Structure 1
Amino acid sequence: MKHDHFVVQSPDKPAQQLLLLFHGVGDNPVAMGEIGSWFAPLFLMRWW
């Protein structure tokens, strides 16, 4: 079985949050990139 993954965002520092997106059977996991790109800025934690 081949396992493919699609990284939407990779933090420079250790992550404070983890958001997992699961696609349905027969769905295209690459298509989840669009929704992941939408969620990423909404859950961004900024530490100044």
Structure 2
Amino acid sequence: MAQASWSEVDVDRKTLTVPAARFKSGRDHVVPLTEEALFSRRRGTGDDRP
């Protein structure tokens, strides 16, 4: 999460998608996120997204 950008986070689906370009396998990697992870991400960046 530390290197993720908000463009990679889907708040509605509660997922983080790491683009294939940043992954060794050459495929997008979708990571499910908990409410706590979303809260922590918002708090860590000062972003007030829902």
User: Same fold by TM-score, threshold 0.5 exceeded?
Assistant: no
Higher percent of residues as helix: 2
Higher percent of residues as strand: 2
Q: Which TM-score band applies after superposition, normalised by the shorter structure?
A: under 0.3
Greater radius of gyration (CA): 1
